[in-house]
């Protein structure tokens, strides 16, 4: 399955997808890595693996919509059937989401619906949560609010600070993103309006990533 990855920063989730493809654990081809931050590490990772890239600065476009249009024109031209937002730090406008409705997923470092937005690790600690984690959800025009497909849970330990917690969550993000992308490539996952179907059945609660990296 041809996929496009959107990223803004260090690209460790992108790297997890690249590694899974190269090890033939994930039967997909990354046809484009696109970014709103020319020069970010994610783009360098793509170049190292000869993956086509697209990057532009939002402020050099006439409007937010014009930037999104240019980006999603590039995604459409790449032939991608699935768009994976892996650390893409911009909100995508409703028109562009509609162009790829049900075919854009996002990884977010919290157990949604808890802690949408930024600084999730510090906020989980400040709230006294005993558990934190990551979610992969269907991207909709509303920030971090689309249906959740799967989650990885990470216990909060005594003495955790935001950095340590983020590290443990990130280690679970990588297999989580690979597992959900795999379900798409196997055509087991479909999104109809705001419902997620797995093997043709409604998903009523998010799938959970087991310690052995399988989803249940
Ligand atoms: C991850 O924690 C992801 O969930 C969040 O931004 C971070 C990106 O990390 N949206 P990386 O760029 O994939 O290393």
Block means of pLDDT (10 residues each) for the chain, length 216 residues?
Answer: 98 98 97 98 98 97 96 98 97 95 96 97 98 97 91 97 98 98 95 91 96 96
- Bridge partners of residue 201, in order along the sequence: 198
Tell me the CA–centroid distance for residue 68 and ligand 1, in Å: 20
| Dihedral angle computed from the Cα positions of residues 130, 134, 135 and 140, in that order, rounded to the nearest 10 degrees | 110
The total of other beta-carbon atoms located within 10 Å of residue 167's CB is 11
Which is the closest atom of ligand 1 to the Cα of 134?
4
**Would you state the pLDDT for residue 144?**
84
The total of other beta-carbon atoms located within 10 Å of residue 166's CB is 18
Spatial contact of 164 and 188, defined as CB atoms under 8 Å apart: no
pTM score above 0.85: yes
Q: Are strands 53-55 and 189-192 parallel, antiparallel or unpaired?
A: unpaired
pLDDT tens for 177-190 read 999 999 999 999 99
Spatial contact of 165 and 5, defined as CB atoms under 8 Å apart: no
**Would you state the pLDDT for residue 138?**
96
Alpha-carbon gap, residue 202 to 208, rounded angstroms = 15
Alpha-carbon gap, residue 87 to 143, rounded angstroms = 14
- Lining residues, ligand 1, CB within 6 Å: 7, 9-13, 86-87, 107-109, 170, 173
**Would you state the pLDDT for residue 110?**
98
């Amino acid at each position: 399955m041809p996929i496009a990855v959107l990223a803004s920063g260090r690209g460790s989730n992108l790297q997890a997808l690249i590694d899974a493809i190269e090890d033939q654990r994930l039967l997909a081809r990354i046809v484009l890595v696109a970014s709103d931050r020319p020069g970010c590490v994610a783009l360098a990772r793509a170049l190292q693996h000869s993956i086509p890239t697209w990057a532009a600065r939002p402020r050099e476009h006439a409007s937010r919509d014009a930037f999104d249009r240019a980006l999603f024109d590039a995604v459409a031209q790449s032939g991608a059937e699935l768009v994976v937002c892996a650390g893409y730090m911009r909100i995508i406008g409703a028109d562009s989401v509609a162009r790829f409705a049900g075919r854009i997923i996002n990884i977010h470092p919290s157990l949604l619906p808890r802690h949408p937005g930024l600084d999730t690790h510090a906020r989980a600690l400040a709230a006294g949560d005993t558990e934190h984690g990551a979610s992969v959800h269907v991207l909709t025009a509303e920030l971090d609010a689309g249906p959740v497909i799967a989650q990885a849970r990470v216990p909060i330990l005594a003495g955790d600070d935001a950095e340590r917690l983020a590290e443990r969550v990130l280690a679970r993000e990588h297999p989580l993103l690979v597992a959900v992308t795999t379900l798409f490539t196997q055509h087991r996952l479909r999104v109809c309006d705001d419902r997620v179907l797995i093997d043709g059945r409604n998903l009523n609660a998010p799938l959970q990533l087991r310690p052995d990296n399988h989803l249940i």
